[in-house]
Chain A
Amino acid sequence: MVFRNALTSIARSATASSRIAVARPLATSFARSPATPFAALTQTRAYHEKVIDHYENPRNVGSFLKTDKNVGIGLVGAPACGDVMKLSIKVNEEGIIEDVRFKTFGCGSAIASSSYMTERVKGMTLEEAGKIKNTEIAQELCLPPVKLHCSMLAEDAIKSAIKNYKSKREATGNRAPGHIEV
C-alpha cells in the first residue's frame, strides 16, 4: 500500500481502503459549529455538523466478501442523482447483525446516512434492523427536505442487505436460528 501525505486532517478509517469515497460539502459557506448568530446566518447551503462528522470520520467503511454465507449485501442506487450505496451485514447464528460495513459514492448526506445506518444496526436482530425508518435517520442527521431521499436510500440498502442474506440462507436450505421467517 502506498502511503500518501494527507493534505487535510481527515481521519482515515482503519479498514482496507486507503482513500475514502466521499464528497466535498458544497463550498458555499459552512461553519463547523455556528458559535455566533452571524455564523448561522451565513450557512446558505450548509451541511449539518453531524453530516460533516460522518463525512470526515465515516464509521465502518468497507465491505465483506459476498461469498461468505453469513454475509448479506444490499446494493442500491438513487437514479435521480447517480448515487450508489453498498451495505454489507455479517449475521451470526443467533440472527444478530454482528458487523456492518458500508461503501457509498454520493453526496455528504448519502454518506452520512449509510455511515449512521451501520452504527445503528450493529447488534440488532434482522427484524429490528428491517424496521428502521428513513425518517429516524433524517431526524438524527438533521437532513434538510431536499436530502430526505438520501436517508431513504439507506433504508432501502439495509432492507436489501437483509433480503440478500435471507435468500442466501434459503438457497442453502439452512434453517438455523439465524434464519427469521417474515
Chain B
Amino acid sequence: MLVVAAPAGDPRPRLLTSSQTFSHLHRLTIRPAAAGAAAANSPLPTFLRFNSGSSSSSSSSKECANCHTSQPLESLSCPSCSFLQPLPSDIDYYKAMDLDVSKVPKGGWEVDAKELKRVWRLRMAVTHPDRMVGRSDKEQQIGAQQSALINRAYETLLNPLLRAQYLLDRHHAAPVSETDSLEDPELLMEVMELREALEDAGSEEEANAVREENSQFLNSSIKALADAFSSNPPDLEKAKKATIELRYWTNIEKAAREWSPNDRIEIHH
C-alpha cells in the first residue's frame, strides 16, 4: 500500500492499493496527447526552433498517462494525481507562462517582466530538477523536458530580440533568410561606427560610453517593434526591419558589456 499526497482541493491523503501504485508504469511508455510532443522523450529541439501560436498539436488538451484525467496542454502536473505531464514541444510560449496573448498589450509585445519572472519561479517550483527527489525515473525525464521548455519560453518572452522573432514567427512572417543581403547604409554605417569605437576603446569607461550610445538605438528599435505589433493588423514589414536592427544593437550591447582590455572582440553564433 502506498500513501500519496492528496490531489488539489482534497485534504485527505489517498491510500492506493498495490495495483494502483506506479510499478506498472515501468512497462508503459508515455503517450503524449499531442503529435508535436513526440519529441518529449528525445533530444530537445534546438534553442532557435520557434513555435507558432497555431500549434501543430492535434488537440487542445491532453490526458494524464497515469489516471487519464483530461487537462490543458500547458498543465505541468495532473490535477487529480499529481503525476508530471509532458509539455508539447510546440507549446505556445505565452500559454506556457500563464499568459493570454490577447491580453498582453501591444499585440503581445509588452510582456510584464516582473510578472513573467513570478510565473517562471512558480513553474520552476514544480518542475526544476531539484524538485524531482522521490519521483520515478519517467517523471524525472518529464520534469527535465518541462523545465527546459519553460526556460526556453521564459527567455524567449523576456528577451526583446527573441520575443520579436517569436512574434514574427507567430504571425507567419517570412523568416530572414541567410541569403538576404542588407545595404541599408544608415544602419550599417552606425553599426560600423559603434563597432570601431568599441575596438578603439582603451578602458571600461570608453566601452561603457559606446554601450550608452548604442542603447539609444536599441531602445528606439524596441519602440518601433511595440508600434509595429500594436497595429491592427500588425505591421510585419516594419517589425522585420526593426528586428534586424535590434539584432545588430543587441550584439553590440553584448560586446560592450563583455569588453575587457587585451581581448579580441568576439562574435559568437
Listed in ascending order, the chain A residues whose CB lies under 8 Å from chain B are 2, 4-7, 10, 17, 19-24, 26, 75-84, 86, 103, 105-107, 148-149, 152-153, 156, 160
Is B232 interfacial (CB-CB < 8 Å)? no
Listed in ascending order, the chain B residues whose CB lies under 8 Å from chain A are 176-185, 187-189, 191-192, 195-196, 199-200, 202, 244, 247-248, 250-251, 261-262, 264-269
Q: Which residues of B contact A7 (CB under 8 A)?
A: 262
6 cross-chain pairs, A with B, having the tightest CB-CB distances, nearest first: A77-B182, A23-B267, A79-B244, A149-B178, A24-B266, A82-B247
Q: How many A-B residue pairs have CB under 8 A?
A: 94
Question: A149 contacts B179, CB within 8 Å?
Answer: yes
Question: A10 contacts B247, CB within 8 Å?
Answer: no
Question: B181 contacts A153, CB within 8 Å?
Answer: yes
Question: B265 contacts A21, CB within 8 Å?
Answer: yes
Cα of A77 to Cα of B191 in the assembled complex, Å: 10
* Cβ-neighbour of B248 out of A20, A84, A86, A148 (below 8 A): A84
Cα of A23 to Cα of B200 in the assembled complex, Å: 16
Cα of A21 to Cα of B267 in the assembled complex, Å: 9
Q: What would 9 A/B residue contacts be, using CB atoms closer than 8 Å?
A: A4-B262, A23-B266, A23-B267, A77-B187, A79-B176, A79-B244, A84-B192, A107-B267, A152-B179
Contact A84 to B195, CB < 8 A, known contacts A21-B265, A23-B267, A75-B189: yes
With both beta carbons as reference points, the residue of chain B lying nearest to A150 in the complex is identified as B178
Cα of A149 to Cα of B177 in the assembled complex, Å: 10
Q: Which residues of B contact A86 (CB under 8 A)?
A: 192
Q: Which residues of B contact A17 (CB under 8 A)?
A: 199-200
Contact A19 to B269, CB < 8 A, known contacts A79-B247, A82-B248, A153-B181: no
With both beta carbons as reference points, the residue of chain A lying nearest to B261 in the complex is identified as A4
Q: Which residues of B contact A78 (CB under 8 A)?
A: 178, 180-182
Cα of A17 to Cα of B202 in the assembled complex, Å: 12
Among A23, A79, A83, A156, chain B packs the most CB atoms within 10 A around the CB of: A79
Q: Which residues of B contact A76 (CB under 8 A)?
A: 181-183, 188
